[in-house]
Amino acid sequence: MARAATTSDAFNAIAEPRRRDILMLLRDGERAVAELAEDLEMTQPQTSKHLRVLREVGLVQVRGAGKQRLYGLDAEGLRPVHEWTGGFEQFWNGSFDRLDAYVQRLAQYPSTTDRGDTDD
């Protein structure tokens, strides 16, 4: 009855722009919380919370470094998202054209054409 938990998977985790920003920053290497907070102009608790979500879905890792805790990227979790969206690649890279669409439509609605009801 409510929205899906953002902590459930990578899809939900990266739905939040702030978290995407964090991940992008981490591409350049590990970062301490305070640094991330400063770069992204967020408060420290805010940053910590986002990092927690990212950690729970396995997109980042932490390691203690003195008083600091350095967060590092664990991008493997983004792979499913990349692959899922990749399953639609044919629809935007040109290998999919109107003929494909026509054939697909026939597969589902063969009667549509019988009634001369196609839109083109």
Q: Which residues of the shown chain bind DNA in the complex (CB under 7 A)?
A: 1-7, 12, 16, 18, 32-35, 42-53, 62, 64, 66-69
* Selected range binding a second copy among 38-46, 48-56, 64-72, rule: CB under 8 A: 64-72
Nearer to DNA, 27 or 115 (CB): 115
Binding residue (CB under 8 A) for a second copy from 43, 52, 84, 113? 84
92 binds a second copy (CB under 8 A): yes
CB atoms under 10 Å from CB of 26, counted, come to 22
Number of residues counted as binding a second copy (CB under 8 A) = 47
Q: What SS3 state is found at 62?
A: strand
Give the nearer residue to a second copy in terms of CB position, either 14 or 33: 14
79, burial (CB in 10 Å: exposed 0-12, middle 13-18, buried 19+)? exposed
Amino acid at 10: A
Are 47 and 22 spatial neighbours (Cβ–Cβ below 8 Å)?
A: yes
What's the residue count for the chain? 120
